[in-house]
Amino acid sequence: MSGWTVARLVARTKESDTARTLHLQVPGWPGHLAGQHIDVRLTADDGYQAVRSYSLSAPADGDQVAISVQPAPYGEVSPYLVEEFPEGADIEVRGPLGGWFVWRPDRTEPVLLVAGGSGVAPLVAMLRARLALPDGPAFRLVYSLRRPQERWFGDSLDALDGRSDVAVDYAYTREAAPGATRPVGRVRQEDLLIDGFTPAQRPLCFVCGPTAFVEHCADILVALGHRPDRVRTERFG
Amino acid sequence: MPVQDGNALAGPLSEVFAVEVTSAWRLCPGCGTDSTVGALRVYTMGTAAVARCPHCGEIAFRLARHAETLWLDFGGGGALRIPVTG
């Protein structure tokens, strides 16, 4: 699907104080794989166009898809999508896009997801695709974020409490949640050395976040012994 | 300069290729690294982007948009290996 098509904003839900998930209805949506993204195009009255890529943060629900957006300071697209773009209005989208940074539900190896901030969006899409299966491989999400209030997808992640096959660990970098035992700070080697997800178990690793975060975590994973071609990355730039 | 992955070019490349080309493999003529287009390093400046080998940095291709024109320059950027069915 290469052309632009018109999508309608049907709902906007809150992920944090500042971030929102936009639920878009896209007539004729062909379905997508977890990890894929869409391009969104805005056209100003004078014809100026801006295109941005956003990861799909949930499996498709018929012709509805979801993107989750953190408004960038002084951004020309994201603050508009989060704060102004009205429900019921139309926007141009293109997708689903990408075939490398994806998780296919027929894969059987364990999956290690490493998220930095809003990089959690495509990884939660993978986690949700796994949860839609009655049975499947072990999943672990390591979610690095500054402080607990900035967490996205809280309800979905809290619903994992008590499960061992699909679980989430938090790596807070500035301020930890009450009761957390991990010292605050950036992701360290011990955060990514997890029983069931060591190089010997040959997990698929997906890392998504800001460029410096992705390079830091991918370097740790390769140093631990994961094969570079099993460490798939998506950098925000 | 900010760097992204080849994944980020899936949209613009979909205007050119009939297949999903970020899943295609590229054998780097510079260093022999086999990587997917989605795993290339992408450097974007304005409406142009350069995709480079993630290992040695050799240019794989350049993509630029000027008004109604899309430029895709493979230079000596090696071959793409594209899985097809049938």
Other beta carbons within 10 Å of A25: 17
The DSSP H or E segment spanning A219 is helix A211-224
The rounded distance, in Å, linking the Cα atoms of B31 and B39 is 15
Q: The complex's ipTM?
A: 0.84
- Please indicate, yes or no, whether residues A92 and A129 belong to a single structural domain of this protein: no
- Please indicate, yes or no, whether residues A125 and A69 belong to a single structural domain of this protein: no
Token match 């999400």: residue? Answer: A141
Amino acid at B34: D
With a pLDDT cut of 90, the percent of chain B lying above it is 59
The rounded distance, in Å, linking the Cα atoms of A175 and A198 is 28
All residues of chain B having their beta carbon less than 8 Å from the beta carbon of residue A232 are 38-39
CATH of the domain at A61: 2.40.30.10
Q: Taking every pair of C-alpha atoms in chain A, what is the biggest distance, in angstroms? A: 57
B11 in reach of chain A (CB within 8 A): yes
Task: Select the residue from A36, A48, A100 to test the B interface by mutation, using most B Cβ atoms within 10 A.
Answer: A100
Task: Select the residue from B5, B19, B26, B27 to test the A interface by mutation, using most A Cβ atoms within 10 A.
Answer: B5
This prediction's pTM: 0.93
- Please indicate, yes or no, whether residues A142 and A78 belong to a single structural domain of this protein: no
All residues of chain A having their beta carbon less than 8 Å from the beta carbon of residue B11 are 39, 51, 53, 94-95, 97
* pLDDT digits 0-9 by tens, A145-165: 999 999 999 999 999 999 999
How is A64-88 classified by DSSP, letter by letter? Answer: EEEEEEPPPTT-SSHHIIIIIS-TT
* pLDDT digits 0-9 by tens, A118-150: 999 999 999 999 999 999 999 999 999 999 999
Strand partners, A52: A40
pLDDT of amino acid A92: 97
- Please indicate, yes or no, whether residues A124 and A207 belong to a single structural domain of this protein: yes
Residue A31 pLDDT > 70? yes
Question: Chain A: nearest CA to B49, how far in angstroms?
Answer: 12
Residue A95 pLDDT > 90? yes
**A32, A67, A97 — which closes off a domain?**
A97
- Identify which of B9, B79, B11 has the alpha carbon closest to the alpha carbon of residue B41: B9
**A32, A65, A97 — which closes off a domain?**
A97
The rounded distance, in Å, linking the Cα atoms of A182 and A79 is 33
All residues of chain B having their beta carbon less than 8 Å from the beta carbon of residue A31 are none
A138 belongs to a structural domain: yes
Token match 């293109």: residue? Answer: A94
B2 in reach of chain A (CB within 8 A): yes
Residue B77 pLDDT > 80? no
- Please indicate, yes or no, whether residues A145 and A181 belong to a single structural domain of this protein: yes
- Please indicate, yes or no, whether residues A133 and A204 belong to a single structural domain of this protein: yes
- Please indicate, yes or no, whether residues A221 and A140 belong to a single structural domain of this protein: yes
Question: Chain A: nearest CA to B57, how far in angstroms?
Answer: 15
In sequence order, what are the residues at sequence separation of 6 or more whose Cβ sits closer than 8 angstroms to the Cβ of residue A162?
none
Domains contained in chain A, number: 2
The rounded distance, in Å, linking the Cα atoms of A90 and A9 is 6
Considering only the beta carbons, identify the residue of B11, B15, B39 that sits closest to A53.
Answer: B11
- Banded pLDDT at A1 (limits 50, 70, 90): very low
Residue B2 pLDDT > 80? no
In total, the C-beta contacts within 8 angstroms joining chain A to chain B are 59
> Residue range A76-83: average pLDDT?
94
Sequence spans of domains, chain B: 3-81
Flag if B20 and A236 touch (Cβ within 8 Å).
Answer: no
Other beta carbons within 10 Å of A79: 17
The rounded distance, in Å, linking the Cα atoms of A24 and A182 is 38
- Please indicate, yes or no, whether residues A157 and A91 belong to a single structural domain of this protein: no
Flag if A99 and B3 touch (Cβ within 8 Å).
Answer: no
- Banded pLDDT at A2 (limits 50, 70, 90): low
**A97, A122, A154 — which closes off a domain?**
A97
Query: Is residue B59 within 8 Å of residue B50, measured between CB atoms?
Result: yes
* Structural domain that includes position A160: 111-235
Residue B86 pLDDT > 70? no
Query: Is residue A145 within 8 Å of residue A209, measured between CB atoms?
Result: no
With a pLDDT cut of 70, the percent of chain A lying above it is 99
A104 belongs to a structural domain: no
CATH of the domain at A124: 3.40.50.80
A71: left (phi over 0), alpha (psi -120 to 50) or beta: beta
- Banded pLDDT at A60 (limits 50, 70, 90): confident
All residues of chain A having their beta carbon less than 8 Å from the beta carbon of residue B56 are none
All residues of chain A having their beta carbon less than 8 Å from the beta carbon of residue B35 are 229
Q: Chain-centre distance of CA A49, in angstroms?
A: 25
Flag if A211 and B2 touch (Cβ within 8 Å).
Answer: yes
